[in-house]
Amino acid sequence: MEISNIKNPNFLKKLDKQELEDLCEEIRTFIIDNVSETGGHLASNLGAVELTVALHYVFNSPYDKFIFDVGHQSYTHKILTGRASEFGTLRQLGGISGYQKRCESEHDPFEAGHTSTSIAAALGFAYARDLNKEKYDCLAIIGDGSLTGGLAFEALNNIENLKSKVIIILNDNEMSISRNVGGLSKFLKGIRMSSSYDLAKKSYKEILSLTKIGTKIYNTSSKAKDEFKKKINSNIFTNLDIDYLGPIDGHNIDELIKAFGKARDSKNSILVHVITKKGKGYLPAEENSSTWHGVGHFDKVNGTLPKSNKPSISEIVSNTVHEFMEKDEDIVTITPAMIGGSKLEKIFADFPNRSIDTGITESFATTLACAISLNNKKVFLPIYSSFLQRAYDNINHDIARMNAHVVIGIDRAGIVGEDGDTHHGIFDISFLNSIPNLVIAMGKDNEEIRNLLYTGFYKQDRPFCIRYERASMEFSKTPFREIKVGTWEYLQKIEDCKNTIVSYGTDVTKIYEEFKDKNVNIVNARYIKPIDKNILKELIATNQKIYVYETNIKTNGLGTNILEYFNYKEAPNKVKLTGIDNSYVKHGNVELLKKQIKLDIDFIKDDIIEYFNLEK
Ligand SMILES: Cc1ncc(C[n+]2csc(CCOP(=O)(O)OP(=O)(O)O)c2C)c(N)n1
């Protein structure tokens, strides 16, 4: 079958078991072929092929609502719903998204990119369906990793409350990005292994008919039957009034179809526990699903990923914290499920007693970090900028208010590229800027990043946020020195020059490369908060014309901080702010995205030349 020709999932209903199995193999090959070119979430998608085909066989999308948690594993769904021919554009600028998108298809009723929202969404759809007196099924397809998020638990708790039927498909591959953690994961493992489960799998009629009393129960009210069913199959889900069915072999089409049929016919909300193998069908991904969770383009024949010759900034940060942890037993590192992404492998291997993976729990991890730090500890808490949005209240209400010594590593700050609008780290400055006690810093190179970390851990004792982007740079073990909180530096200061560019991070490095020896002053505003009032006073006194360059949301950014101070000082300076307007940035290559929103260095260079009336 030509996968690219699939227009919708209707054809599936006519296929027999063998044809369905063949289709799954073809889809797998199609995914590997395409993702090896475009990059994407390979291992998660390979594990969910049969599961998704069986769901589309049993249910009727778009009539029934398919809500994939995160959406990173929805490629088979995209293929079956008419988007296979566009797979060459996956995650590229102007191409199809790597997640569900309402604008892409009527088969995508909801959108995500962050985890643990699917059950809440399915429940909301189901509640509205019942209010509207309509009849269709609302499905949340959620991984065991995403089920560790508090939001998923809150939704489970509300199923009994809202009383609308939802179907939860738990795709359990024992993995988050790294191996899944925590009591829930242990519990799921227990279910998979337990023999009592086998008992529960047999029909309760079979069990009841073994004894006289049982037969009597079976012949009496359905309530008694329900009670008995619950007893033999009692677990966390059934105790929340959600029926439980499973575990089901997630690569056996027949078993899946039968189980999903039962779920469709059930009156009650139900969770179908499906066991899958992450990376299924592609050996390198099966053997190392963490590495192959999300990848760039790769060599599909040899199963090799391209190597960067420079370390990522995440690695530079974690290497530096590792140096501190070697000598300082009071540092604890906490990650909400991002050991690999935040490059914490060595910290976790060398300091297992002071490293915690809390699962996908940005909110919990932040309050936990706060409490640990209040007990004579310093906590390193790296979280991706966009996921930090989940922890806003915990940073404000806990860490900042109690002035706790937590060094928050804001990883993937700025535009991240192919993951798109749900993942760009462009809001953190804006939402943290208004919180008292917080320091927000961003270093321009290896040495400054290391010195900022040193300052955050050893030269102050309050919350310290250090942002760093998704990029690579040279690493070297430079000696540490303090960078006084709230101090900026001139990268270039020219006598009598009245033009000043202010920027931070690698943006200021790029500006310096473009404008060194030109008639502009260049200020590295490595502390976005607090700002350097001495330098600002100097800029006012010499009436500098100022250009602020940020690749984050403009509202409440560094530029706003400068304007606020100038307003307070009734400064006469002309100031131009550049940054991202109050809008979402799409997915695609970082440089192309920056060009699209007119924030790439070439555009900025011309803009600065024009603004300051400089010679080209
Ligand atoms: C709030 C949030 N935190 C972290 C992530 C990063 N992330 C994406 S997928 C994933 C693991 C999901 O595991 P699971 O749900 O089991 O799906 P699998 O990929 O194993 O199929 C994580 C941690 C995210 N998308 N959203």
Atom of ligand 1 nearest to the CA of 70: 25
Same domain? 434 vs 574: no
The Cα-based distances of 467 to 417, 449, 512 in angstroms read 17, 9, 20
Burial 273-283 (b: 16+ CB within 10 A, else e): bbbbbbbbbbe
Residues 260 and 319 in one domain: no
Mean pLDDT of 437-441: 98
| Assigned domain for 354 exists | yes
- 8 Å CB contact between 589 and 92: yes
> Stretch 252-273: mean pLDDT, rounded?
97
Q: Residue 612: what are its φ and ψ, rounded to 5°?
A: -95, 0
50 an active-site residue? no
| Nearest alpha-carbon partner for 245 in 255, 254, 253 | 255
Question: Does residue 595 form part of some domain?
Answer: yes
What is the chain's mean pLDDT, rounded? 94
d(Cα 337, Cα 115) in Å, to the nearest integer?
11
Task: Report, as an integer, the average pLDDT of 487-492.
Answer: 98
- Ligand 1 center from residue 355 Cα (angstroms): 20
Residues 75 and 194 in one domain: yes
- For CA atoms 190, 194, 196, 199, the dihedral sign is positive
Compute, in angstroms, the gap from residue 313 CA to the centroid of ligand 1. 21
pLDDT at 544: 98
572, two tokens: 């006469």
Q: Are residues 279 and 367 in the same domain?
A: no
By most ligand atoms within 8 Å of CB, the mutation choice from 31, 35, 42, 44 for ligand 1 is 44
Calpha distance 23→53 (Å, rounded): 9
What pLDDT is stored for residue 566 in this prediction?
A: 98
Say whether pLDDT at 198 is over 70.
no
- Give me the phi and psi of 91, to 5 degrees please: 70, 5
Q: Which of 50, 362, 418, 448 is catalytic?
A: 362
pLDDT band at 211 (very low <50, low <70, confident <90, very high): low
> How far apart are the CA of 295 and the centre of ligand 1, in A?
14
The count of domains in the chain is 3
Catalytic site residue from 65, 129, 229, 278: 278
The residue whose CB lies within 8 Å of the most ligand 1 atoms, and thus the one to mutate among 176, 181, 416, is: 176
**pLDDT tens-digit series, residues 2-41:** 999 999 999 999 999 999 999 999 999 999 999 999 999 9
Catalytic residue among 65, 354, 390, 412: 390
Residue closest to 178 by CA, chosen among 411, 349, 413, 409 = 349
**Residue with CA closest to ligand 1 atom 17:** 143
- Interhelix angle for 17-38 vs 49-58, to 10°? 130
User: Residue 215 has what pLDDT?
Assistant: 59
Mean pLDDT over 593-616 rounds to 96
Q: Which residues lie below 8 Å from residue 240, measured CB to CB, with a gap of 6+?
A: 156, 157, 159, 160
What is the whole-number distance in angstroms between the Cα of residue 394 and the centre of ligand 1? 21
Q: Indicate whether 533 and 463 sit together in one domain.
A: no
pLDDT score, position 200: 47
DSSP letter, residue 81: I
The domain that contains 404 carries what CATH number? 3.40.50.970
CA of 452 to the centre of ligand 1 (A): 30
- Candidates 584, 583, 582, 569; CA nearest to 538 is 569
Atom of ligand 1 nearest to the CA of 422: 25
pLDDT tens-digit map of 494-543: 999 999 999 999 999 999 999 998 999 999 999 999 999 999 999 999 99
Ligand 1 pocket by C-beta < 6 Å: which residues? 44, 47, 70, 72-73, 114-115, 143-146, 171, 173, 175-177, 278, 293, 337, 360, 362, 387, 390
Angle between helices 601-612 and 505-515 (to 10 degrees): 60
* Residue 474, in any domain of the structure: no
206 within a domain of the structure (yes/no): no
User: Do 245 and 239 meet the contact criterion of CB atoms below 8 Å apart?
Assistant: no
Contact of 139 with 64, CB cutoff 8 Å: yes
Secondary structure element (H or E) that encloses residue 261, with its range: helix 253-265
Q: Is 331 helix (H, G, I), strand (E, B) or coil?
A: strand
> If you measure from the C-alpha of residue 327 to the centroid of ligand 1, how many angstroms do you get, rounded to a whole number?
33
Domain that residue 595 falls in: 489-612
Give which of 416, 422, 420, 430 is closest to 469, Cα–Cα: 416
Asked if residue 541 is part of any domain, the answer here is yes
Q: 177 and 124, same structural domain?
A: yes
More confident residue, 396 or 235: 396
Q: Are 307 and 70 in contact (CB under 8 A)?
A: no
Atom of ligand 1 nearest to the CA of 73: 21
**Best substitution site from 115, 118, 361 to test ligand 1's pocket, by max atoms within 8 Å of Cβ?**
115
pLDDT of 108 > 60? The answer is yes
Which atom of ligand 1 is nearest to 149's Cα? 1
Which of 433, 467, 501 is the last residue before a domain boundary? 467
- Predicted confidence at residue 196, as pLDDT, reads 43
- Confidence at residue 1, expressed as pLDDT on a 0 to 100 scale: 80
pLDDT confidence of residue 199: 42
Residue 113: name the closest of 294, 250, 335 by CA. Answer: 294
Q: Is the peptide bond before 247 cis (omega within 30 degrees of 0)?
A: yes
Distance 115 CA to ligand 1 centre (A): 6
Question: What is the phi-psi region of residue 464: left when phi exceeds 0, alpha when psi lies from -120 to 50, beta otherwise?
Answer: beta
Whole-angstrom distance, CA of residue 340 vs CA of residue 326: 20
Q: Which atom from ligand 1 is nearest to the alpha carbon of 337?
A: 23
Q: What is the rounded CA–CA span in Å between residue 106 and residue 80?
A: 13
489-492 β-sheet, strand order: 489-492, 521-524, 499-503, 545-553, 575-580
Q: How confident is the model at residue 224 (pLDDT cuts 50, 70, 90)?
A: low
- List the beta strands (DSSP E) in 122-166: 138-143
Among this protein's residues, is 390 annotated catalytic?
yes
Number of alpha helices (DSSP H) and beta strands (DSSP E) in the chain: 25, 17
Among 124, 13, 16, 122, which Cα is nearest to 65's? 122
Together in a domain, 320 and 411: yes
Tell me the per-residue pLDDT of 348-374, one tens digit each, with 9 for 90 and over.
Answer: 999 999 999 999 999 999 999 999 999
Tell whether 463 and 494 lie within a shared domain: no
CATH of the domain at 541: 3.40.50.920
Q: Could you give the percent of the chain with pLDDT greater than 70?
A: 94
Do the domain assignments include residue 472? no
| Contact status, residue 504 vs residue 528, Cβ threshold 8 Å | yes
Based on the fold, state whether residues 366 and 493 are members of the same structural domain: no
Residue-wise pLDDT tens digits, 315-332:
999 999 999 999 999 999
Count of Cβ atoms closer than 10 Å to residue 290 Cβ: 19
User: Could you tell me if residue 306 is inside a domain?
Assistant: no
Q: Are strands 355-357 and 378-384 parallel, antiparallel or unpaired?
A: unpaired
Q: Which residue has the higher pLDDT, 55 or 222?
A: 55
Q: Give yes or no for a contact between 81 and 61, defined as CB atoms under 8 angstroms apart.
A: yes
Catalytic-residue membership of 129: no
Given a cut of 80, whether residue 76 has pLDDT beyond it is yes
Same domain, 507 and 461: no
Residue 308 pLDDT class (50, 70, 90 cuts): confident
Tell whether 318 and 458 lie within a shared domain: yes
Measured from the Cα of 172, ligand 1's closest atom is 16
Q: Are strands 439-442 and 527-529 parallel, antiparallel or unpaired?
A: antiparallel
pLDDT of 168 over the 60 cut: yes
Q: How far is the CA of 70 from the centre of ligand 1 (A)?
A: 7
- 37 in any annotated domain: yes
Q: Read off the amino acid at residue 557.
A: G
Are 320 and 277 in a shared domain?
A: no
